[in-house]
Amino acid sequence: MEKLQQLYAGKAKSVYATANPDYVVLSFRDDTSAFDGEKVEQLSRKGEVNNKFNAFIMQKLAEAGIPTHFEKLLNPTESLVKHMQMIPVECVVRNVASGSLVRRLGVEDGMNLTPPVFEFFLKNDSLHDPMINEYHIATFGWATEQQVQRMKALTFEVNQVLKQLFSDAGMILVDYKLEFGVFKGEVCLGDEFSPDGCRLWDAETRKKLDKDRFRQGLGGVIEAYEEVATRIGVPL
């Protein structure tokens, strides 16, 4: 499907209109950023790897009965997705303590979290994506109570599917963020699921296989993404 004018440009993806108002083209770029856009670089092959990775994950989730915005791959760096009204709230699940949770609460890095921790964050880079709760969401009208409960339920369903997928490939799904939108009245998973938006460790060595390699200057970012993709069977 031919893409038309650009509707939105984020830190790593762009969205383009199509002739059908129900669908847009999601274009994955090689831009890589961290710390709310303070650190930005171009990493060759990133757009292609993340586009194919996301397509694979979205299809796995759809097979498990989770509604997503994904329709089909168009080319190595672009996908056709539903044109949704996005909810400005990020849903985060933490299976293992790391990152900001460790800094905020002083808990041990690498501590297994049982049950997993669920958190809401407002999607707003200028405010550094502050943590919020269900009262904030209701008071400011970011989502209805029914949408909030649906997002929470779907986020934990995703956790069940993906923890097992990565575990079978010798990896630990440490944490991840999801974004949702509404398409014709239904709450659907949107945005992307890739190593850009989650933490993945090798189960034996605890080697980081995600965007922390970029944040922490460890190098081998795309090589790590490709390793994860190969392990779970993403056709690159």
CATH of 85-220, one of 3.40.50.300, 3.30.470.20, 3.40.50.80, 3.20.20.100: 3.30.470.20
Q: Which amino acid is at 71?
A: E
CB 64 within 8 A of CB 152: no
CB atoms within 10 A of CB 67: 16
CATH of 6-82, one of 3.30.565.10, 3.30.200.20, 3.40.50.2300, 3.40.50.720: 3.30.200.20
**Delimiting residues of CATH 3.30.470.20 domain(s) in the chain:** 85-220
Tokens of 79: 């996908």
- Identify the pLDDT of residue 39: 82
List the one residue out of 87, 91, 72 whose CA is nearest residue 157.
Answer: 91
Cα 216 from chain centroid?
19
Mean pLDDT for back-to-back runs of 10 residues, the chain (236 residues): 92 96 98 81 96 98 98 98 98 97 97 98 95 98 98 98 98 98 98 97 98 95 98 96
**Delimiting residues of CATH 3.30.200.20 domain(s) in the chain:** 6-82
- Identify the pLDDT of residue 61: 98
Q: Which amino acid is at 61?
A: L
**pTM > 0.75: yes or no:** yes
d(CA 139, CA 47): 37
- Identify the pLDDT of residue 37: 67
